[in-house]
Amino acid sequence: MPYIKPNDRQRYDELIEHLVQWSKGEGVGPLNYIITRLIHMSLPPTPCYRDLNEMIGVLECAKASLIETVVIPYEKKKMKENGHISDLDQEYHDEL
């Protein structure tokens, strides 16, 4: 989970806000570059399997968090607005 103590967040938030402002309006390319550079710079010069596996884990956890906190609520909202795709979709949603 990406949740760190609020006091610790302050150290990072100012830098993150600058990065976002500098790249705003340029599409997702700069974001991909920033993420990739952060990962490359966090790895040792000669990474081993464990190092690479841990970085993949970081990316997977960030992805899972995005899906859980942003994508699923968005999809539920759109499902309510636009209706279900099929009976299967309706059945699954009713179980939630």
Residue 48 to residue 28: CA distance in whole angstroms = 29
In this structure, is the dihedral angle defined by the CA atoms of residues 26, 23, 40 and 3, taken in order, positive or negative? negative
Q: What is the pTM of this model?
A: 0.79
Residue 21 to residue 15: CA distance in whole angstroms = 10
- pLDDT beyond 90 at 91: no
What is the tens place of the pLDDT at every residue in 46-80?
A: 999 999 999 999 999 999 999 999 999 998 899 88
Please count the structural domains in the chain: 2
Judgement on whether residues 70 and 86 belong to the same structural domain of the protein:
yes
Judgement on whether residues 34 and 50 belong to the same structural domain of the protein:
no
Judgement on whether residues 80 and 53 belong to the same structural domain of the protein:
yes
What is the tens place of the pLDDT at every residue in 14-40?
A: 999 998 888 888 989 999 999 999 999
Judgement on whether residues 67 and 94 belong to the same structural domain of the protein:
yes
Judgement on whether residues 54 and 25 belong to the same structural domain of the protein:
no
Judgement on whether residues 70 and 93 belong to the same structural domain of the protein:
yes
Judgement on whether residues 56 and 95 belong to the same structural domain of the protein:
yes
Which range of residues forms the domain containing residue 18? 1-42
Judgement on whether residues 5 and 24 belong to the same structural domain of the protein:
yes
